[in-house]
Amino acid sequence: MASRADNIASNLSLANFSKATELKKRIWFTIGALIVFRFLSFVPLPGVNPLVLETLYDQTRGGILDLFNTFSGGSLERMSLIALGVMPYITASIVVQMASSLHPALAALKKEGQTGRQKLNQYTRYGTVFLCAIQGWFLAAGLEAYGAQSGLQAVVQTGYMFRIGAVISLVGGTMFLLWLGEQITSRGIGNGVSLIIMAGIVAQFPTFVTNLFEGGRTGSIGPAVIIGFIAMVVILILFICFMERAQRRLLIQYPKRASAQGMMQADRSHLPLKINTAGVIPPIFASSLLLLPLTITQFAGASVSTDSTGGAILQSTLQYLQHGQPLYMALYAAGIIFFCFFYTAVVFNPEETAENLKKNGGFIPGIRPGNRTAEYLDYVLTRITVVGAAYLTLVCVIPEYVIAQTGIPLFLGGTSLLIVVNVTVDTISQVQSHLLAHQYGDLIKKAKLKGRNR
């Protein structure tokens, strides 16, 4: 029999928005913050000539810049104040999270509760500033080097003053985005940083649709290819939604306790284990590691000499690492599988979970508490991680192969689809939670009024 909460959740509808005043305020605040983010993406860096930026970016396509440019909503292509986006923060947070699971001192901070989390967040911000400064410096130096080698002057006046100004501007832009994301999280709806990344990806959607149908109009892309690509995207979205909500629920039983009627009854609950525990981290890491050598070579002007044996081997390797090549596909899939298992082992500790269950008196039926429970959790987690790794590999490799074969511009890759679907599902869940809380509030008010009338 369905509970009262299940009945209310099943009756949620868009008509309840008119009554949820606080939810509407949160949604409008989120929309306004994302509009500010989009305006900032068109503010160029001081000292950069915007007329040659398009040519600069066109000659560096195919590397990791495409991935970062997609996440920043085209800000990197325009060299705006927020060209680095929130990727330095994501990298720093991943490093701190991994370090907190491996380093004893940071692991102790993680267990201290709110105070420890604030300290780890402070370390993450320090790492973000450090990464922004390094990336900003190399980005400014790359712009100057490109202008010197190709004859296109992307920088109005080169020198240390331009580099220092660019670093300060890029660090300030990234930190402002982090502040904006925190405001969305606290005063808006959904996770602020995730919504900023999703907004950057979705902002490229009109350009992608225009190029797709323009290719169909000119005949460069066949109608069957367009229809098949749209069908593939729809199927992948449905598949991602299903897999991201999929869980392996382990039954947890607690000792019998006396109820209000004086009867002894056992409490039961479930420990949910997500099929995809690692999220979108494995595709991001795998693609970054694969495309980094190619991008460095492109920024250097692709001037590697092929006269020597080492230069010839390097040129051949970089050629095989292009999108759609068998070597690239194999290494990309292997990287996703490796990081899926590695990151899952970092974020989920079977020993700690088993110890917490033992302290609270809970146990898995048929499994002894303690080490046996930890071994069983590790066994189950390894099996479902195999399924999760296969799912991530399938979702990420198929779009890459189709894009390489059809020549459609890289936009709706597997990583982009994963981020958009994950953030959308999470935001919708939070909207439903606010509506459910609002309906519960109405029920409580009605119950109080009935109690007064009696």
Read out DSSP for 193-260?
A: HHHHHHHHHHHTHHHHHHHHHHHHHHTSS-HHHHHHHHHHHHHHHHHHHHHHH-EEEEEEEEEEEE-T
Q: What is the pLDDT of residues 65-75, one digit of tens each?
A: 666 666 666 77
Contact call for residues 394 and 379 (beta carbons, < 8 A): no
- What is the spatial distance between Cα 147 and Cα 390, in angstroms, rounded to a whole number? 44
Partners of 274 in the β-ladder: 247
Which range, 12-16, 134-138, 266-270, 285-289, is most confident?
134-138
Q: What is the CATH number of domain 222-255+267-442?
A: 1.10.3370.10
pLDDT over 50 (residue 8): no
What pLDDT, on a 0 to 100 scale, did the predictor assign at position 6?
A: 44
- Domain coordinates of the chain in residue numbers? 22-204, 222-255+267-442
Residue type, 233: V
Q: What is the pLDDT of residues 380-404, one digit of tens each?
A: 999 999 999 999 998 888 877 777 7
Q: Is 309 helix (H, G, I), strand (E, B) or coil?
A: helix
Q: Is 271 helix (H, G, I), strand (E, B) or coil?
A: strand
Q: What is the pLDDT of residues 115-171, one digit of tens each?
A: 888 888 888 899 999 988 988 888 787 777 765 556 667 777 777 888 888 899 999
Distances (CA, A) of 311 to 260, 303, 308, 357: 79, 10, 5, 57
pLDDT over 90 (residue 176): yes
Q: Could you give the dihedral angle defined by the CA atoms of residues 110, 114, 120 and 122, in that order, rounded to the nearest 10 degrees?
A: -170
What pLDDT, on a 0 to 100 scale, did the predictor assign at position 36?
A: 92
Helices (H), 41-159: 53-58, 64-71, 75-78, 87-102, 104-110, 114-150
What is the distance, to the nearest Å, from the Cα of residue 206 to the centroid of all Cα atoms in its chain? 21
- What is the spatial distance between Cα 252 and Cα 450, in angstroms, rounded to a whole number? 39
What pLDDT, on a 0 to 100 scale, did the predictor assign at position 354?
A: 86
What pLDDT, on a 0 to 100 scale, did the predictor assign at position 434?
A: 76
Mean local confidence (pLDDT), 296-301: 52
Mean local confidence (pLDDT), 195-224: 80
Residue 164: CB atoms within 10 A of its CB come to 13
Q: Is the fold of 22-204 the same as that of 222-255+267-442?
A: yes
pLDDT band of 175, cuts 50, 70, 90: very high
pTM exceeds cut of 0.85? no
Topology of domain 22-204, CATH? Preprotein translocase SecY subunit (1.10.3370)
What pLDDT, on a 0 to 100 scale, did the predictor assign at position 303?
A: 47
Residue written as tokens 């069908």? 231
Q: Is 357 exposed, middle or buried (0-12, 13-18, 19+ CB in 10 A)?
A: buried
pLDDT over 80 (residue 418): yes
pLDDT over 80 (residue 10): no
Range with the lowest mean pLDDT among 123-137, 267-281, 297-311, 335-349? 297-311
What pLDDT, on a 0 to 100 scale, did the predictor assign at position 305?
A: 52
